Structure 1
Amino acid sequence: MKKLTDLLLLGDPRLYETCEPVQQSELPLVAGWVADLHNVMEEIRAKYQFGRGIAAPQLGIMKRLIYLNIDRPTVLINPELTSLSPEADELWDDCMSFPNLLVRVRRHCRLTLSFRDEHWQPHTWTVDDWALAELIQHEYDHLDGVLCTMRAIDAQSFRWRPTPTNN
């Protein structure tokens, strides 16, 4: 089982690589990968009080796989963005691979996503919720070796995250 110490951090060259598609023959491996992603996300949530999604390459699994856990666990295998709205908005983005740094980026407000689930069933998902759309774009970028630091609006688009307080 992978742990927080297995999370790749900013500067690791693997974070800048383009991931390979998951093959149907690799489906038996997906449950283990997802368990690792879930475990590390829970450790990030406990330590830093954030985390809604994680991409497989952040754990050195160089496959096109995203794990989201907002209201329920969702597995996105070989996701494809098929439509991005022309409207975009700005936010202070965060990333588990550099948890103390926030980066000001611009993301599309809506999107359409095609993917397979953990049972290899195809899905198409139209996302009109801004918070979910920006999260999917962030995680999708990881699959192409793109970090939010590379999408910074300008040189002043970086700041330290306030330290969480444990009550």
Structure 2
Amino acid sequence: MSELILQLGNPTLRQKAVWVDNIQDEGIQKLIEDLIATVAKADGVGIAAPQVAQSYRLFIVASRPNARYPNAPEMEPTAMINPRIISHSTEVVKDWEGCLSVPGIRGLVPRYKTIEVEYSDRQGNLQKQELTDFVARIFQHEHDHLNGIVFVDRLENTLDMFTEQEYQQQVFNKT
């Protein structure tokens, strides 16, 4: 498992990741396992290879309720290799995001509500599916990492950025 999650400011997070040519490569398969373990340990719902200093077009979507995202839907961790957004809805929704590479910060980020995506799974099979709401948000967030974009780049206004502590207090402790 990778203990190192790169932090904002590391130049690898700003690079465009390279295409995975051989999905069955032992190193790529080990990277997938490491990413799944790392995202679980860090209480994340997704992680991209560039976040662990591996600049490949590969990420894990692993939505599940946890301390950082208590209302997240449950799904099996899914490796998405060489992913693409084929189409998207016109509806854009602004909602809260955080990032393992930007600890302690949350932001209201506009994202497409529904996206149609294509990716190869870890066996090399091409998958095509429609994603909505929170899972679509995770996909778009992780896809950005493959292009050197971090969620804070998508904020429309710095007033949409909170510390984690203030986010927890305002969003979950409303009385």
Distance across 2 between alignment mates of 1:114 and 1:43: 27
Does 1:122 pair with 2:115? no
The one-letter amino acid of 1:97's match is: S
Corresponding pairs, count: 156
Distance across 2 between alignment mates of 1:147 and 1:25: 25
Distance across 2 between alignment mates of 1:82 and 1:153: 24
Distance across 2 between alignment mates of 1:32 and 1:11: 26
Divergent runs of 4+, >6 A = none
Equivalent residue number for residue 15 of structure 2: 17
1:158 paired residue among 152, 156, 161: 161
- 1:155 to 1:117, Cα distance in 2 relative to 1, 3 A: same
Equivalent residue number for residue 109 of structure 1: 113
- 1:20 to 1:26, Cα distance in 2 relative to 1, 3 A: farther
Using the size of structure 1 for normalisation, the TM-score is: 0.88
Unaligned regions of 5+ residues in structure 1, if any? Answer: 46-50
The one-letter amino acid of 1:2's match is: S
Does 1:62 pair with 2:55? yes
Using the size of structure 2 for normalisation, the TM-score is: 0.84
Secondary structure of the residue aligned to 1:156 is: helix
Secondary structure of the residue aligned to 2:134 is: helix
Equivalent residue number for residue 53 of structure 1: 46
Equivalent residue number for residue 91 of structure 1: 95
Identity %: 27
Equivalent residue number for residue 2 of structure 2: 2
Superposition RMSD in Å: 1.5
- 1:28 to 1:126, Cα distance in 2 relative to 1, 3 A: same
1:30-64 alpha-carbon deviations (Å, 9 max, x no partner): 2210121122212212xxxxx11100000011000
